[in-house]
Chains A and B, each alone.
Chain A
Amino acid sequence: MKLRLGYLALPLLTAAAFTTQARADGQTIAVFTKNQTNPYFQTVRVGADVAAKALNAKTLQYIPTKPDSIPEQLSQIEDVVVKKPSAIVFIPVDYKAMVPGVEKINDAKIPVVNITDRSAGGKFVSFVGADDYSLGLETARYLLKTLGGKGNIVIIEGVKGSLTNVDRVRGFNDALKETPGAKLLASQPGNYQRLQALQVMENLMQSNSQIDGVLAANDAMAVGAIEALDGANRKAQVIGINGTKEAIDAIKSGKLLASGDYNGFAQGCLGTMMAIRNLREQPVVAEIVLKPTVITKDNFGPFDVPLEQRACPTWEEAQKLGTK
């Protein structure tokens, strides 16, 4: 009987030891993302979780229930300032409007790392982001190269006026300018919505008998455009942006030419890593702007792995990615 108790006690003691160990460095990182609807932010959240787990910390996710709601994110900041997490990883729902929120965090002396959308103000430990412009430029260049530097192109734009869309479309257009053989037929709004992109594509096919390439500002719209092309028995090379699971599947089956990866997973990882390193008084990288990856049929492998099973960059790799 005693013996049995001993066996029981051993794992309990070990568990207790681990708990104290975890508590010793178990900081809580509050992660702010913009919405629950865009898969991109899901990749950020999982990246943050994976990094926190690896570094023996935990995350608390803050997501506005109404997508991209400025007042909601502001009130979430107020809540967080009261709750006092160890550090914050922050994506502002609006890079200008959230500046007062960031200042509130600064006043509360909670260290904060800015990721994805660069805040227009406030003090940050680090910035980790990618570059929408080069994402648009590189994906469009890839499409135009595949088409042999010529052809009729249409652009399907995201939400007009949103920062991501402005920069991505600017990148598309600059790639087109470099390619005199390519002709831009139309640049029409799909508002990042699959249905709207499908309908826009259906309409454009009515007035354009030959469309060779489609540049869509996100994957959902790219896939919508492909559905429209399939429905009309027409073929064109299509690219999207974001590297969603759906896009990877479409690249695998040869329906989608390529998707630009905004590295949401890496951004979540690196942002959380910087926050935790800062808390533990280890050196951090002040700024990392990740190079866009054009995901194609030749390199989709690492993106075809479930997010939870992907590995975060190591500190050594992160240092090399740093631009400042």
Chain B
Amino acid sequence: MTDITKEAISPPRSFLSQDAIQVFYRLLAALLICAVLAVLSDSFLSLGNILNVLRQASLTFFIASGLTLVVLTAGLDLSVGANVALSACLAGTVIHQTGSPVLGVVTALVAGGIVGLLNGVMVTALRIPSFIATYGMLWVLNGLTYWYMAGDTIHGFPAGFRQIGSGYLFGLPIPVYLLVVFLAIGTLFAQRTIWGQEIYAIGANPVAARLSGIPVVRRLLLVYAVSGTMAGLASIIFLSRLNSAEADIGESLTLPAIAAVLIGGTSLFGGVGTVFGTFVGALILTLVLNGMNLLSVSANWQPLVTGIIVILAVWLDMKTRRRTQ
């Protein structure tokens, strides 16, 4: 008990901690995959392909970054993908109706945020386990989106809006800038602010966190709202990259985001992990798929390879964690 209490009220973590070592292992794994792919494929190390991978990883990262905070509190948000789908469809409608991309962006962020906040309310006020609450929310969102779209798609958006997801600035894709910004904000928030530290403390031991005066309910509401808002942001990137909104995108986005968080070394039991690790997790997943495309690996083998990589990554995580502790 004394140990846990000490951890809950310990001074802000330095980035060079246990977590830093975990991130180091992950970067090493990502580099290893890069090295193998560079040997196997001539086109892998081209600038175009590297930017490609970063842009593809960014979408997963945006969804997974907010989710990381939820997992740090020992929670889970299964509704993120469905949230992206609903937010994208609403934002797409608003842009079509008003012709204003700005209103569309606001709609997506607000809609995503509200859904996140509702998840937070279910978890805190109604005390529903987050797994169940957000699983229920997933169905609610799917239902709403399917009903709203009735099998249709919304497509064709203004060129300016398309720039967010498809455009370049000084030779770099715009989502890559957003990736850097949100990676920095997420890392600074989690590692360098009191709120961030309180989130780690809640995940490590909620009882100790409450007893040491941390407003647990408010922090939990915050992390679910952030997770939802990031889903809203991801929906904007999605919409502007694909030029289209459809109801059934949720399922294909949720599990990769969760996988990115876990491959990135954030523990499902809470209190351990980093936003940077999640970025590396998203990168590893993207690299694997990119590599298989470049090498023309048969469609039959791709799910199998992806599955094995996910299992290996988490297994390695457990192993290195035991060793360093």
Residues of A participating in the B interface, judged by any CB pair closer than 8 Å: 35-39, 41-42, 65, 67, 157, 160, 185-189, 191, 193-196, 198-200, 202-204, 206-207, 220, 223-224, 227, 230-231, 244-246, 249
Contact = CB atoms under 8 A, between A and B. Distances in A.
A189 B151 contact: no
A35 B248 CA distance: 10
Interface of B: 41-44, 46, 48-49, 52, 56, 59, 139, 142-143, 146-147, 150-153, 155-156, 166, 238, 241-244, 246-249, 252-253, 289-290, 292-294, 296, 298-300, 302-303
A227 B56 contact: no
B244 A202 contact: no
A246 B154 CA distance: 8
Most chain B CB atoms below 10 A, which of A35, A203, A223, A244: A203
Contact of B246 (A194, A230, A249): A194
Nearest to B151: A42
Contacts of B244: 194, 220, 223, 246
A188 B291 CA distance: 12
Given A42-B150, A202-B56, A203-B52, A191 B293 contact: no
A65 to B, nearest CB: 7
Given A39-B153, A65-B139, A206-B46, A160 B290 contact: no
A227 B43 contact: no
Most chain A CB atoms below 10 A, which of B52, B293, B294, B303: B293
Given A36-B150, A187-B298, A206-B52, 5 more contacts: A36-B147, A36-B247, A203-B293, A206-B294, A246-B244
A35 to B, nearest CB: 8
User: Top 7 nearest A-B pairs by Cβ distance?
Assistant: A42-B151, A37-B248, A203-B293, A189-B299, A36-B146, A207-B43, A206-B49
Contact of A198 (B153, B241, B246): B241
Nearest to B294: A207
Contact of B166 (A188, A191, A231): A231
Contact of A194 (B43, B49, B249, B300): B249
B294 A65 contact: no
A203 B44 CA distance: 9
A203 B294 contact: yes
Contacts of B249: 193-195
A39 B46 contact: no
Nearest to B85: A37
A220 B151 CA distance: 12
A198 B146 CA distance: 23
B77 to A, nearest CB: 19
B55 to A, nearest CB: 8
A224 B166 CA distance: 12
Contacts of A186: 293, 296
A17 B248 CA distance: 45
Contacts of A220: 153, 244, 246
Nearest to A169: B299
A241 B140 CA distance: 30
B299 A157 contact: yes
Contact of B299 (A39, A67, A188, A244): A188
Contacts of A195: 59, 238, 241-242, 249, 252-253
A67 B150 CA distance: 13
Nearest to A46: B151
Given A157-B299, A189-B299, A194-B242, A206 B151 contact: no
Contacts of B241: 195, 198, 227
Contacts of B42: 207
5 contacts: A35-B248, A37-B151, A37-B247, A194-B242, A195-B59
Contacts of A188: 292-293, 296, 299, 302
A202 B142 CA distance: 29
Contact of A199 (B152, B156, B289): B289
A143 B153 CA distance: 25
Contacts of A223: 155, 243-244
A160 B303 CA distance: 10
B152 A245 contact: yes
A230 B156 CA distance: 14
Given A65-B142, A186-B293, A38 B248 contact: yes
B181 to A, nearest CB: 22
Given A202-B52, A203-B294, A223-B244, A36 B46 contact: no
Contacts of A244: 153
B231 to A, nearest CB: 15
A198 B293 contact: no
Nearest to A199: B56
Contacts of B152: 39, 42, 245
